[in-house]
Amino acid sequence: MASDVIDLRDFYRTGVGQVARRMIRRAIRKVWPDLRDMRLLGIGYPTPFLSALSPDTERAMAVMPASLGVLGWPPDGRNVVALADEGELPFADYSIDRVLLVHALETSEEVRPMLKEIWRVLAGGGRLLVVAPNRRGIWARLDRTPFGSGRPYTMSQLSQLLRDEQFTPVGSHAALFVPPSARRMILRSAPAWERIGHRWFPTVAGVILVEASKQIYAKPTMVRVPRRRLVYTPAPHGL
């Protein structure tokens, strides 16, 4: 399944997509139960999950990379989504408290520049939460969902990548144990699949989540190479 914003939007409108959204939302909420007065940034295609997180925040916003395209959000309020180069985020240093990365890492051609930019914009006590397809899970093996596109990760691969970019992994989680089937009986039993999977089969989840803190010691001095500055515009609501 191709992963541009239209494909992603349409997937989350299907029965399978709605179940996936609920299961991943629950996992994110377990990691971040309290976001009061936080500045939250989502990167990739995070909007299906921001609605459950944004009410408590000081502000919530999203960046969608050019490789995906952009859709405005929320549908009934002032747009807070922008199209930007994920390797050059349009935010000041130390200006963000939490970053949620969904549908970004596995398809981005600028993985390391993106992580460096996330490090730059995160505040001193900031946290990054990465949601990525699990290489060992069935969802990554089937291309009829977005989780079958791009590069999946194991927990150890994702943790090592974050360490390489000066983050310290502080917790790992898993979600989406239900098979990617449109059968109504399977979808209705998704909570039971999650309970059984967490207890007995934690390595075969559809997605893995790794939370990491910004490592502020032993950070080498970075020489920033001047780049052509891009003009960022809000996403239109008409799509």
pTM of the model: 0.89
- Residue 231 confidence (pLDDT): 46
Query: What does the pLDDT read at residue 147?
Result: 95
pLDDT 10s digit of each residue in the chain, 239 long? 557 999 999 999 999 999 999 999 999 999 999 999 999 999 999 999 998 888 889 999 999 998 899 999 998 889 999 999 999 999 999 999 999 999 999 989 999 999 999 999 999 989 999 999 999 999 999 988 999 989 999 999 999 999 999 999 999 999 999 999 999 999 999 999 999 999 999 899 999 999 999 988 745 545 455 555 454 555 555 44
| pLDDT of 75 | 86
Cis peptide before 74 (omega within 30 of 0): yes
Cα 214–chain centre separation = 17
DSSP string, the chain: ---SHHHHHHHTTSHHHHHHHHHHHHHHHHH-S--TT-EEEEEES-HHHHHHHGGGSSEEEEEEETTT----S-TTS---EEEE-TTS-SS-TT-EEEEEEESSTTT-S-HHHHHHHHHHHEEEEEEEEEEEEBTTSSGGG-TTSGGGSS--B-HHHHHHHHHHTTEEEEEEEEE--S-S---HHHHHTHHHHHHHHHHH-GGG-SEEEEEEEE--SSPPPP-PPP-PPPPP-BPPS--
Whole-number CA gyration radius for the chain: 17
